[in-house]
Amino acid sequence: MLNRLTAPHEYPGKLFVVEGIDGSGKTTQLGLLAKWLSAAGHSVVVTEWNSSALVKAATKAGKKKNTLTPMTFSLLHATDFADRLLYNIIPPLKAGMIVLADRYTYTAFARDSARGVDRRWVRELYSFAVRPDLAVYFRVPIDVSTDRLLARRVKLKFYEAGLDMGWSSNAIESFRIFQGKVLDEYDRLVDEFGLSVVDATGSITEQQRVYRKLVSQHLEIKDDNDQLDDLA
């Protein structure tokens, strides 16, 4: 069932994906990459996980009432993804553009499985997905992730902290348990789908340098890091 997700796509554009748990810094790295690619003259489109207007109202209502089961959550995210794939990802790929995805199917594989949804079922659910040209996983220990979020005074949300699973009534402890399970699932995905791993404990500059090198291998673009020192 995973023939599309395991075989190279036929479009002239490029699809680059970032993955990682909350606090891994993946969104920051993707934003820096987008600016770099645009400055090099590439047409870039950025798409984010769970951003489709199609299911936004339903998801918001379910979260507000805390009525989303793991299976319902999985189906809503799959619907969101299908809508974005059809309208926000495939069209620019057909036009030869670069699509940068802040999380992709692997987020569902990791989070849904961590919540107890059958791994094979989730993979079959997303069997229509286009295989990325490059999927980079920013790996970070759970303690580092938690410290970063708390330092930013981020309020841990109910579902992001896994409070719906009842493992702990304490948001921080629940977050550690849930995200720890997600990390285990990501380790599976690295081997299963060949995700490229970047050590997300390094400086922003160090991570961006590695990230650009990985991306440069898929594009006719010079891996020029002269301006990276300003990011430190």
Q: Please spell the DSSP secondary structure of 108-138, one letter per residue.
A: HHHHHHHTT--HHHHHHHTTTPPPPSEEEEE
DSSP state of 96: T
- Is 107 or 156 the better-scoring residue by pLDDT? 107
Q: State the Cα–Cα distance between residues 201 and 14, nearest whole angstrom.
A: 27
Nearest 5 degrees, angle CA 58-CA 111-CA 157?
60
What is the phi/psi pair of residue 111, to 5°? -70, -45
pLDDT digits (tens, 9 = 90+) for 73-91: 899 999 999 999 999 999 9
- Residue whose pair of structure tokens reads 């991570």 in the numeric block: 207
Contact partners, residue 137, CB within 8 Å, separation at least 6: 18, 19, 20, 106, 186, 189, 190, 195, 196, 197, 198
Domain regions of the chain by residue span = 3-218
Distance CA 142, CA 177 (A): 9
To the question of pTM greater than 0.75 for the whole model, the response is yes
CA 78 to chain centre: 14
Cα(232)–Cα(225) distance, rounded to whole angstroms? Answer: 13
- pLDDT of 6 above 70: yes
pLDDT at 131 (0 to 100): 96
pLDDT at 223: 60
CATH number of 3-218: 3.40.50.300
